[in-house]
Amino acid sequence: MDAAKYIWMNGKFIPWEEATTHVLSHTIHYGNGVIEGTKAYKTKKGYAIFRLKEHTKRLLESAKMTLIDVPYTAEELNEAQIELVRKNEFIGDNVYIRPFAFLGYGVMGVYHKNAPVETVLAAWEWGAYLGEEGLKRGIRLKISSFSRPANTSNMGKAKATANYLNSQLAKHEAIECGYDEGLLLDDQGYVAEATGAAFFMIRDGKVITPPSDNALESITQRTVIELAEDMGIEVLRRRITREELYIADEAFLTGTAAEVTPVREIDGRMIGKGERGPITEKIQSTYFDMVFGRNPKYEHYLTYV
């Protein structure tokens, strides 16, 4: 990870190296914290944060679900993120912003309401999450032996740190088996999501993506659905079975970090021609035009720094 100059922590900008916490912080031991992933892109008008308000709103909603009382308003957090990008004087094309809240040092034990809440905003330059080659050529995807936990098991709609143990294990399994990414099914055997991204496939010219019944409500997924519909492509939100994946014409993943990443192979089965498909490429190109400020139709999603 490339260090930046400043991190915003509990209302103050401090040097990157000084943003530390105690080893007995509650979240380290019991896993209750909430995170966001937001991106700023270098446009002709300077850096622009993509869908800033929606990401901050989801952070606070996740905190409410997990009973973490963040002591800052959405407006305060939005302004701090803008200033964070400005103060760090980045030069690269991509800046990743990580807002998060966790429970700090003060109490021990499973009951967490008396633990102090720490609120942090960090940002650093970060390129393609699944590799530049993956964006062009496509990645290899493995269906994980781990299932996405059932809705009765946890707060699956919260972007909570504890939920990512499931993702970590699935990702490790995929990498160890020679793949790039893992895809999680739900407890009923239907596609849920990748370890950190939403899933799309294309069959007979239609874009198909699962509902958020047992997955995070993805902001990028919602954006791509809008883009596809604006291009006149029919979009279906329905359950997807494992068998359907293997006979898809195209497939891709979406997420703040993953952006629009094509899938060329699933479980040893070549998807389409084993490369980025034409509809995927069109959606990907339109997405990058949007986030880099090259399409005025979607400029309302950009917050300029």
Active-site residue numbers?
159
Q: Which two tokens stand for residue 62?
A: 């996740």
Neighbours of 18 (CB within 10 A): 9
Residue 43 and residue 294: Cα distance in Å, rounded? Answer: 8
Half-sphere exposure of 278 (CA within 13 A, CB side): 5
Q: Would you say 305 and 40 are in contact if contact means Cβ atoms under 8 Å apart? A: yes
Residue 210 and residue 219: Cα distance in Å, rounded? Answer: 14
Q: Would you say 185 and 143 are in contact if contact means Cβ atoms under 8 Å apart? A: yes
Q: Which residues of 25-59 are buried (b: 16+ CB within 10 A; e: fewer)?
A: bbbbebbbbbbbbbbbbbbeeebbbbbbeebbbbb
